[in-house]
Structures are given as structure tokens and as C-alpha cells.
Structure 1
Amino acid sequence: MARADTHTRLVGWLKVGLPLMALAILSTLFLVARRIDPEAALPYAEVDVEALAREPRMTAPTYAGTTSDGAALTLSADEARPATGGAAATAASLRLALDTPDGARTELLAGSAVMGDGTREMILSGGVTVTTSSGYRLETAEVAAKLDRTGLESRAPVVATGPAGDIRADRMVLGQDARTPGAYVLVFKGAVRLVYQPGG
């Protein structure tokens, strides 16, 4: 009987003590909390709204499509600006990937690009690097890339390294092989100079 009486007394004290402890904890939360200054300025992003309205742009745009000959084309850039007031559409830090039906892959990196008016062609410039899955790495100042079919053509001299050695040429063209349907070839044109590296 004494044990039941002790238990009842303990439960009675806890019924009063626990809510009082909870109330004390809650009151310290409000007393210790930092005061909010309503006069302090709200943090906003430092953006020039007028400049954005004057020069619209997209950040990190991506485009994916298929050319008429079945190649998968993917374009991405750090920034793109639409055509406005007679100026052509442009892109900065452009990456282009071309996967042809024969299983080959070609990747281009360029500092900038300009979209041709109604030509379905993009001019890549600002130091263009071309890498192919066949082992070639090319550098040139400017490349014209077709968007409706597989076609890349440099508009400046090319310096390349590949399985055959080091190559210098006036220009290069990547496109469909006219003699073999479904095949794609990389052709160096103009004054072509090959430095062959045996065993390389």
C-alpha cells in the first residue's frame, strides 16, 4: 500500500512539475532569441534590371536535335543572347557534340558563336577545339557548323594531332562521304603538311 501511495504522489508531482519545466524552457527561447531589426534592408541580388531588359539573355541554355542524315546534335553554352535589332543571336562558351549514325562522336569547344540569319549555320570562333572519337584533336580560329545536316568546316588554318601524326592544313571539312553512304569523313584541304610519327 505504501508503494502505491509513493507512486501516486510521484505522478502528482510530475503532473505539475513537467508542464512548469516546459514553460520555463519555452520562455528562455523567447528571451534569448535575437531581436529582428525591421529597419534593416532585406538582402537582394545585385542585378541591374534595366540592363537585363535592354539585353535579354539565357543562362546555361541547351539544345538537342537530329540532323536530316540522322546525327544527334547537342548544343550548350554558358550564356546565349537572342537576335535583337538586326544583331544575330550569339552564345558564349559554346559546347557542341555531334554523334553520327556510324557511331563516331565529334565534340567542339568555342569561346563564342554567332547564329547565321536563315542559313541553319552557326559560326564558332574564339579559339575552337575539335575532338573526334577517331583520335584527332584539332585547333583553329573559326568553324562553320551546319545545324540541319552533318557538316563542319574550318574557315581558318588548322593544327591537328592524330593517329597519323601532326597535321597542318589550310582548312578541314567533316561531313558525309559521297562515295560511301552512311559513312563520315574528316578531310584536310589546301596546303596540307603531315609530320609522321612512326610507332605513334
Structure 2
Amino acid sequence: MPALKISYSNTVFYLKLTLVFLGLFALVMIFLSAKKLDPSTEIPFAKDIDFATLDDGLTKPIYSSMTNSGDEVRISAEQIISTEKKDIALIKSAILRIFSVSGSDLFLSSDTALLDKGKKNLIFSKNVILQTNDKMEITAPKIFTALDKTLIQADGPIKGIFGNSNIEAGKLDIFKENASSNLVISFTKGVKMVYNPGKSF
């Protein structure tokens, strides 16, 4: 009976082939195990948290989800503390980022904010700054943000930069008319715009 002969080159070939298949298998397992970020109506920091137990505060909470129009929402803070009102918590050093599928990202920050678990919103106050990634930076005493949809509202006095203009207004609304539309930025109530070619965001 002839002896079975396996050459060195054949051994190397089959070893390489085995490694290739193992690599492909590993990639498939990575993609299958990856979790997709699904739209959520969960309230930031509020899932499985009883506000009444936050007397000592929750330090550096972080939340990430998507609105019903597909925009990614990221919220972080220095601390969240309970208040005397049920389902309302105080947030210190609040930061909100909205990454819109249309490409117009939003950045909102303030010294404090109130989280209303029941109404699903955040109200930013004290040193409030709202920016977009392309053409706007404004301030307002308070800015309201919905958490289950893309909606930001502010009452005046609103001041800041919009494109190459200084702007003042009594009201600001940022929203989407439908899930697939671009962001709508609307200034109303006594709007004043002064073109300034030397100043832009």
C-alpha cells in the first residue's frame, strides 16, 4: 500500500485556507452580535430610576437613543438630582447633541436643566447656548427640548449669530415637518437681522 505523502507546500496552503475561513467566520459573528440603535421613547436617565431615590444624585449619567424621525440623540450631564416634584429631576451641566440624518447637527448646553419624566422633555436654563454645525449660535433664557421627537423651542429674548448676520427674536422653533424632511429653523416675533460680513459662525 503506497504511503500517504503530504508536501510542505500543501500543508501551508491548507493552513492559510483554514485561517481565511476562520477570519470570515469571526467577521460574520461580529456583525450578527452587533446591536442596532433602534428608535426609543425611553427618557434619558429615567429608565429603571426612581427619582425619589436620587437625593444624593446620580453622577455623570449618559444616554443615547433616536427620535421618531431617525435623528440620534446623545445627552450627558455632571449630575442628576431629585426635586420635590414627582417625576421631575434637576440636571447639572446638561449637554444635548442631536445628530440629524439631514446633516444639520445641533448642540445645546446649559448650567442646569429640568427633566420631566412624565412630559418627556428637558428645559435648559442658565447660560444656555444652542449651536448648529453650520450656521447658527444663539442664547436664550430657557430652551425647551422634546425627547421623543426632534423639537426645540425657545422664547425670547433670543440673540446670536445666524449665518453672516446678528439676529434677535422673540421666539425660536426647530423641528421636522415629517420624518424624512430637513430641519426647519424658524425665528418669529420681532425678528431683527443685521448683516455683518465680518462675523460668521
- TM-score tier, shorter chain, comes to 0.5 to 0.7
Q: Which runs of 5+ in 2 are unaligned?
A: 1-52
Greater fraction helix:
1
What is the match of residue 4 of structure 1? Answer: none
Q: 1: distance between equivalents of 2:85 and 2:155?
A: 27
What is the match of residue 134 of structure 1? Answer: 134
What is the match of residue 73 of structure 1? Answer: 73
Structure 1 residue 84, shift from structure 2 partner: 5.8
Contact kept, 8 Å, 1:101 with 1:182, in 2: the verdict is no
Alignment of 1:1-200 (within 5 A): 55-82=55-82, 86=86, 88-177=88-177, 181-198=180-197
Q: 2: distance between equivalents of 1:102 and 1:145?
A: 19
Contact kept, 8 Å, 2:54 with 2:80, in 1: the verdict is no
Aligned AA for 2:148? Answer: D
Q: 1: distance between equivalents of 2:195 and 2:169?
A: 14
User: Residue by residue, what CA displacement relative to the aligned partner does 1:98-141 show, whole Å, maximum 9, x if unpaired?
Assistant: 01110111101111111125111111111210110122110111
Aligned AA for 2:116? Answer: G
Aligned AA for 2:192? Answer: R
The percent of aligned pairs where both chains have the same amino acid is: 21
Count how many residue pairs are aligned between Structure 1 and Structure 2.
147
- TM superposition score normalised by structure 1: 0.67
Q: 2: distance between equivalents of 1:54 and 1:176?
A: 34
Q: Based on CA coordinates, which of the two structures has the bigger radius of gyration?
A: 1
Structure 1 residue 63, shift from structure 2 partner: 0.7
- TM superposition score normalised by structure 2: 0.67
Higher relative contact order (CA 8 A, sep 6+): 2
